[in-house]
Chain A
Amino acid sequence: MKTFQYERPADADTAVALLADAPTGAYLGGGTNLVDLMKLGVAAPDLLVDVSRLPFDAVEETGTGGLRIGAAVRNSTLAVHPLVRERYPVLSQALLSGASTQLRNAATVGGNLLQRTRCPYFQDVGKPCNKRRPGTGCPAREGAHRDLAVLGASEHCVATNPSDMAVALAALDAIVDVASGHGPRRVPLTDLHRLPGDAPDRDTTLRHGELITAVELPPPMPGARSAYRKARDRASYAFALASVGAVLQVREGLVHHVRVAFGALAAKPWRARTAEEALLGEPATTASFDDAVRHELAAARPLRDNGYKVPLARRMAVSMLTELAAASAGGTP
């Protein structure tokens, strides 16, 4: 690990000012990804600005009945929060699906969102990787890519974003609050992460020094049901092969509101907007769900060894939507 300076400012303004003057510095949240990457030599910041103790540790109802989640809230705290369990089960389930309790106890909400989109080649400094060293190539395309992206990848990168929480937040239309020297701004969660294109080294749309301060959820849709499901190689404590988070509101047998997001298929949580548009106003039946999800996943471009993800993700989404419809008020089983 390279040596670095450590600062723990008392407020966000100081944190932002410190990093603005340090082009190769980084914020430190729970450190569960960053410290690991520093040990591997993948990350080598010369300054860590510890933001884990900034006063962003509250989960509060908003004036409109939504929820405002401070960026320093620990993943485990958020997962078991009564309002999250009651109103946003997809988020509680996604958090509990991620990592181990030890890691969730350390990881912050802001840090979870800013963990690196990654693959085994990115983590191995002995290998070429366009994300770690732009222009060196992508061995994953011909190599070990069974776990990697089938949607939105580019010739330069096929890494996936491993966050379960972000998939749930995408399905919940979450907004991310960001502070910087240029003042605060609000970023829809679905615009926070980016597809690799020809700049796979950039995981997000944040500029250097921008600091996530909170995540805001809109009020839950009345009568809507939500859930998160994750397929993985072992029963617990593993990254997803595919995951799905969904919110469904049914009225008189018809889809009135639907959100579907996939994890582990792309470099960002994949909001299934094509499927959502196709389903609006349609009967809440397995046949409708299957048609819509097939339409969405027609965009998949699997590599040699990860084609299994497409039918896996489809079956997971269709069965989940079918179950949510059955559970919905006025839903048809």
Chain B
Amino acid sequence: MDGTSEVGLRINGKPFSRVIDNRTTLLDLLREQAGVTGPKKGCDHGQCGACTVLLDGDRRVNACLLLAVSLDGADVTTVEGLADGDRLHPVQQAFVDHDGFQCGFCTPGQICSAVAAIAEARAGWPSVVTPPDTPPGPVEPTAAEIRERMSGNLCRCGAYVNIVAAVREVAR
């Protein structure tokens, strides 16, 4: 009973395999074993969203609450995997253009979360502030929708106003 397992996943398109302690979270695997330090450790309890990464496409999750051992075969995208070479992802560019950060600690999580939030609204996922009689189809990215959809990402600098503007520009 040694409490270790072999796990294999893809991180930003690159295969990563290793025998790990079963207690290793995805966040710790990324930061301490794979050298991918974009996802940040804020609260480490799923409350702040600084560790947000994308699983198997656009499924945003808190990397701090996922055991890496349970993700064998998964495809993980972090903020490092969003840009196309030297060209920033449109959400990254919008955060720069709108000054959507101050200290920057929450930003990698904010950006990953926003990429998924935009995809979800386009796919017609309602949020709790979407009126129940809204017809199927893409959801209009109002400020209220963006605030609700991004509520899992806290910013202690309070850059929310500019974050909403950045997300809104790309979502439109």
- Partner-B contacts on A (CB < 8 A): 1, 3-6, 8, 28, 31-32, 35-36, 38-40, 48, 50, 52, 76, 79-80, 82, 85, 89, 92-93, 96-97, 99-103, 105-106, 227, 235-237
Contacts and interface: CB of A to CB of B under 8 A. Distances in A.
Nearest to A95: B128
Contacts of B49: 100, 102
B147 interface: yes
Contacts of A237: 151-152
B62 A102 contact: yes
A206 B8 CA distance: 35
A101 B23 contact: no
Contact of B128 (A32, A39, A76, A96): A96
Nearest to B123: A80
A164 to B, nearest CB: 10
CB-based closest 6 A-B pairs: A100-B152, A236-B151, A3-B3, A96-B128, A237-B151, A6-B22
B127 interface: yes
Contact of B126 (A5, A52, A96, A227): A96
Contacts of A8: 70, 72
Contacts of B124: 80
Contacts of A105: 55, 59-61
Interface stretch (B11-19, B83-91, B96-104, B112-120): B112-120
Interface of B: 1, 3, 5, 21-23, 25, 44-46, 49, 52, 55, 59-62, 65-67, 69-70, 72, 113, 116-117, 120, 124-128, 132, 136, 147-149, 151-153
Contacts of B72: 8
A50 B7 CA distance: 14
Contacts of A4: 3, 22-23
B117 A101 contact: yes
Contacts, number: 101
A32 B26 CA distance: 13
Contacts of A28: 67, 70
B65 A106 contact: yes
A93 B152 CA distance: 17
B147 A236 contact: yes
Given A31-B65, A80-B125, A103-B46, A5 B1 contact: yes
A6 B69 contact: yes
Contacts of A35: 25, 65-67
A223 to B, nearest CB: 16
Contact of A50 (B59, B70, B126): B70
Contacts of A85: 126
A97 B3 CA distance: 37
Contact of A39 (B45, B147, B151): B45
Nearest to A3: B3
Contacts of A102: 46, 49, 52, 60-62, 113, 152
Contacts of A92: 126
A40 to B, nearest CB: 8
Q: Which of A52, A76, A85, A105 has the most CB of B within 10 A?
A: A105
A76 B70 CA distance: 19
B30 to A, nearest CB: 15
B65 A36 contact: yes
Given A35-B25, A102-B62, A236 B116 contact: no
